[in-house]
Chain A
């Protein structure tokens, strides 16, 4: 009569493999950010500046804007969002596939800025979760690049559950 072998004690090998897998996937993902620019206001000028030749987000793998949320994984909310626009922003966020990250670009997207009135949403984090805030009115391109690099560091350190213990 045979008995089924009991589950082997954790050897650390699987942990090692998943750690390496997370590192690998994180490395791949951090250099292939596809931004969706949700551009509503004057910060767009700074967004154009940071995207184009002089500062060039292409160097960080975040250059190719996708104009459909379904193909993008980085939502950049650039500018003031009003209450009337909030349902649109929420819908765009919900249409994005996981994994997804959100950057609040500029002080209006971060907190509403100096718009404290009937029209403006006081920060997009009231309606969608935000990973990174870049303050400034508008932020300098250096700040945006710094923000993107911080987000990349975070992606590199994150866990990326593509395969789990059960494979």
Chain B
């Protein structure tokens, strides 16, 4: 049953989605950053992908463009998941926000911005959510030093 839904999605998105594969029961495909909104809107409106599960990123330090940005959606009509990926370079790690489509994207985009420094064009509230004000860098990027500390309270030197 899932396969038929996946085939229909692939037909619908032919020409937009590249590298469509089924991995672990999830349809996964790659889109151009410019066509992201179009693809997500069509998934939501035509196939009932009305639940925004997650947005995260993958850092490939050797690759150009360096980052994968990954979204997961769930369809409460067909009970299937879909994974949408796009690639952005280090020089301009910007993708469009999905907040107009899914309100719950707001916080998850903030987290992704915290951890990977992906900028979401159109999300006007990208304050730190898990990190704190003043934190420099993006800790889940591969070039962030593993043991670097940015303490908020100065460490004790002698007995206090």
Smallest CB gap from B138: residue in A: A118
Q: How many A-B residue pairs have CB under 8 A?
A: 39
Q: Which of B150, B155, B159 contacts A118 (CB under 8 A)? A: B150
Give the interface segment out of B10-18, B90-98, B141-149.
Answer: B141-149
Taking a contact as CB atoms under 8 Å apart, the answer to whether A118 and B149 are in contact is yes
Taking a contact as CB atoms under 8 Å apart, the answer to whether B139 and A118 are in contact is yes
Q: A84-B131, A84-B132, A129-B160 are in contact. Are A116 and B147 (CB under 8 A)?
A: yes
Taking a contact as CB atoms under 8 Å apart, the answer to whether A83 and B155 are in contact is no
Q: How far is the CA of A125 from the CA of B150 in the complex (A)?
A: 16
Tally of B interface residues using CB under 8 Å: 16
Interface flag for A154 (CB, 8 Å): no
Q: How far is the CA of A159 from the CA of B150 in the complex (A)?
A: 38
Q: A83-B132, A117-B147 are in contact. Are A90 and B153 (CB under 8 A)?
A: yes
Q: How far is the CA of A121 from the CA of B155 in the complex (A)?
A: 10
Please report whether the interface of chain A is mostly helix, strand, loop or mixed according to DSSP. Answer: loop
Smallest CB gap from A126: residue in B: B155
Q: Using Cβ atoms and an 8 Å threshold, which residues of chain A touch B34?
A: none
Taking a contact as CB atoms under 8 Å apart, the answer to whether B149 and A122 are in contact is yes
Nearest-neighbour CB distance to chain B for A13, whole angstroms, equals 33
Nearest-neighbour CB distance to chain A for B140, whole angstroms, equals 9
| Interfacial residues of chain B within 10-49, with CB under 8 A of chain A in the complex | none
Q: Using Cβ atoms and an 8 Å threshold, which residues of chain A touch B153?
A: 86-87, 90, 127
Interface residue tally on A, bucketed by range: 10 to 19
Taking a contact as CB atoms under 8 Å apart, the answer to whether A84 and B152 are in contact is yes
Taking a contact as CB atoms under 8 Å apart, the answer to whether A83 and B152 are in contact is yes
Q: Which of A86, A128, A129 contacts B151 (CB under 8 A)? A: A86
Taking a contact as CB atoms under 8 Å apart, the answer to whether B139 and A119 are in contact is yes
Q: Using Cβ atoms and an 8 Å threshold, which residues of chain A touch B156?
A: 125-129
Chain A contact residues, CB within 8 Å of chain B = 83-84, 86-87, 90, 116-119, 121-122, 125-129
Chain B contact residues, CB within 8 Å of chain A = 131-132, 139, 144, 146-153, 155-156, 159-160
List 11 extra interface pairs beyond A86-B153, A90-B153, A117-B139, CB under 8 A. Answer: A84-B131, A84-B152, A87-B152, A87-B153, A116-B147, A118-B150, A119-B139, A121-B151, A126-B155, A127-B151, A127-B153
